[in-house]
Chain A
Amino acid sequence: GAGVSQSPSNKVTEKGKDVELRCDPISGHTALYWYRQRLGQGLEFLIYFQGNSAPDKSGLPSDRFSAERTGESVSTLTIQRTQQEDSAVYLCASSLVAGGSQETQYFGPGTRLLVL
């Protein structure tokens, strides 16, 4: 079946504009994660959704960042009033369940965001 998909693949925006990034997880996967990969750095956790539970937002770097998920399907990550330091590759991952540490997370190809 299809893997995790993300759109757009690339986004160039001007400082101060809002952007929306989309993630379609693997069908049937109940857990969905957003990560950020800045140039030359490792991946940073941003937010995590598990079913109908309240999301874990502990990784969001500021209140300009928010995310929503519709049921157990698509998720949107929104960055308001973008800043140049928001430039990064935003990765989405999904896993079948989040019942512990053994579940493999499958990653999408990422959205490369450049804020000018």
Chain B
Amino acid sequence: GNSVTQMEGPVTLSEEAFLTINCTYTATGYPSLFWYVQYPGEGLQLLLKATKADDKGSNKGFEATYRKETTSFHLEKGSVQVSDSAVYFCALVEGSFGNEKLTFGTGTRLTIIP
């Protein structure tokens, strides 16, 4: 079956530090890959996505590249801010019709200190 493994947290960084949160996946088909973010007290929201190999998703200074050869979708940001403190979830949807449910990683809690 499909699965997502992401870097365990919690992760604590200083403001303006470089961020990487690792994510690798196992899928039987050709999945689309997503990063969702959950800010404190808020619902889950889509941060970025990539739907095919070598695509790069980007949003709010975050980037992730779909690497089929390494089955990875690592999340990066060059300079984090306190407002980036949240829980980040890597997820996939396997490509076949009728199998559109999201498979999530366990989440990585990120705390940015000023």
Contacts and interface: CB of A to CB of B under 8 A. Distances in A.
A95 B45 CA distance: 13
Interface in A61-114: 91, 93, 95, 98-110
Given A107-B43, A108-B43, A110-B43, A100 B97 contact: yes
Nearest to A104: B46
Contact of A42 (B32, B43, B101, B104): B104
Contacts of B42: 109
B75 to A, nearest CB: 15
A111 to B, nearest CB: 11
Interface residues of A, number: 28
19 contacts: A41-B106, A42-B89, A43-B44, A43-B91, A45-B101, A45-B103, A50-B98, A59-B101, A91-B43, A93-B44, A98-B98, A100-B97, A100-B100, A101-B30, A101-B31, A104-B46, A106-B45, A107-B43, A110-B44
A13 to B, nearest CB: 22
Contacts of A95: 100
A42 B107 contact: yes
A42 B102 contact: no
A31 interface: yes
A63 B51 CA distance: 35
Contact of B94 (A98, A99, A101, A103): A101
A43 B100 contact: no
Contacts of A91: 43-44
Contacts of B94: 101
B102 A99 contact: no
A112 to B, nearest CB: 12
Interface in B55-114: 89, 91-95, 97-98, 100-107
Contacts of B103: 45
Please name the 5 residue pairs, one residue from A and one from B, whose CB atoms are nearest each other, closest first: A101-B32, A101-B93, A42-B106, A107-B44, A109-B43
Given A101-B32, A110-B43, A42 B105 contact: yes
Contacts of B43: 91, 107-110
B104 to A, nearest CB: 4
B105 A102 contact: no
